[in-house]
Amino acid sequence: MTEPVLVVSSLKKTFRKPFTGKKVEAVKGISFEVRSGEVFGFVGPNGAGKTTCIKMLTGLIFPTGGEATLLGERVPSPRAMARVGFLPENPYVYPYLSPREFVSLCGRLSGMRGKKLARRVEEVIARVGMTEAIDRPVRALSKGMGQRVGLAAALVHDPDLLILDEPMSGLDPVGRKDVRDLILEERARGKTVFFSTHILNDVEMLCDRVCILRRGEVVVSGPLRELLQSSSSRSEIAIANASDAVRKALADAGFELRQMPDVVVVESADYDETKRVLDVVHEHGAEVRSVSPKRETLEELFVRRAL
């Protein structure tokens, strides 16, 4: 078991609406931890409190209650943030600078200087696929290219922990793949990545563990593989040579049939339903092509628990 690099304990944030002074609980005492060397997905619908939590972790706003530690330091901690690469949800990149100038500025703010900084700037800009636009004014770049520049700025000082708020925002499919590859490269180098996203396929492909928020509260948290194995009793039965009689018998038994090019697929919820389907198939002389356990997807888990 690796050591935690981020520990959140009963963290809360309450805002007051202007004019009315009414309290709004954006984050309601959430707790989770991120361990060294893992990719951690922070997921939730709009308004769940993800960005508010990230702003508290990075010291941009102060919590109302609870506490968090970042790389062993209690938040807010400038010393810990020196080892963190942060990409906000809507990164502001100075429009009159070029990517080279902006990333160099961020490197200097992190204490980097001279030839080492110059080499590192070119390296991280190449990693995010922006070499051809390295000296082009940022105001001339697309939103997705600006996102890449923000990511390069987060990487320039070789941080131990990456905190990325919606890192795939504004990126095309190629850009999303590039960011996914970069996240996996960072994990292979022993770095830790904590990122929030609405793109559940990316979480399922990348993450070791996940935390799902709803209305400022944690509804699911844990290793992704264990969470998605909880419905392993479900199965998909592929039936070949399915006659009209077989189809009618299955439909009368309450099963939904899905026609594929050469088979009919029936989904069963548990062992008893699987047995009922197989009995009907054998009774009518059809052929069972396969019986495959069906794992719940992250999207299904998200819809079931967070909406």
With respect to CATH, is domain 4-228 assigned 3.40.50.300? Answer: yes
Q: What is the pLDDT of residue 35?
A: 95
Read off the pTM. Answer: 0.81
- Kindly report the CATH number that applies to the domain delimited by 235-306: 3.30.70
The span from the first CA to the last CA of the chain, in angstroms, equals 32
- Strand 84-87 relative to strand 73-74, pairing: unpaired
Q: What is the pLDDT of residue 105?
A: 95
What sign for the dihedral angle of Cα 278, 284, 290, 296? negative
The length of the chain, given as a count of residues:
307
Per-residue tens of pLDDT for the chain, all 307 residues: 678 999 999 999 999 888 888 899 999 999 999 999 999 999 988 889 999 999 999 999 999 999 999 999 999 999 999 999 999 988 888 999 999 999 999 999 999 999 999 999 999 999 999 999 999 999 999 888 999 999 999 999 999 999 999 998 878 888 888 999 999 999 999 999 999 988 888 888 899 999 999 999 999 898 988 887 655 567 888 999 888 888 888 988 888 888 888 888 988 877 888 888 899 888 888 889 888 877 777 777 777 776 6
Q: What is the pLDDT of residue 150?
A: 94
Q: What is the DSSP string of the chain?
A: -PPEEEEEEEEEEEEE-TTT--EEEEEEEEEEEEETT-EEEEE--TTSSHHHHHHHHTTSS--SEEEEEETTEESS-HHHHTTEEEE-SS----TTS-HHHHHHHHHHHTT--HHHHHHHHHHHHHHTT-GGGTTS-GGGS-HHHHHHHHHHHHHTT--SEEEEESTTTT--HHHHHHHHHHHHHHHHTT-EEEEEES-HHHHHHH-SEEEEEETTEEEEEEEHHHHHTTTTT-EEEEEES--HHHHHHHHHTT--EEE-SS-EEEEESSHHHHHHHHHHHHHTT-EEEEEEE-PPPHHHHHHHHH-
**CB contact at 8 A, 186 and 162:** yes
CA dihedral 214, 215, 221, 226 (to 10 degrees): -10
As a whole number of angstroms, the distance between CA 206 and CA 251 comes to 38
Q: What is the pLDDT of residue 230?
A: 53
Q: Residue 225: which of 82, 41, 4 has the closest Cα? A: 41
- Strand 235-240 relative to strand 264-268, pairing: antiparallel
Domains 4-228 and 235-306 alike in fold: no
The domain limits of the chain are 4-228, 235-306
Q: What is the pLDDT of residue 71?
A: 94
Give the number of other Cβ atoms within 10 Å of residue 256's Cβ.
Answer: 9
Q: What is the DSSP string of 98-125?
A: -HHHHHHHHHHHTT--HHHHHHHHHHHH
Please, is 57 exposed, middle or buried when counting C-beta atoms within 10 Å of its C-beta (0-12, 13-18, 19+)? Answer: buried
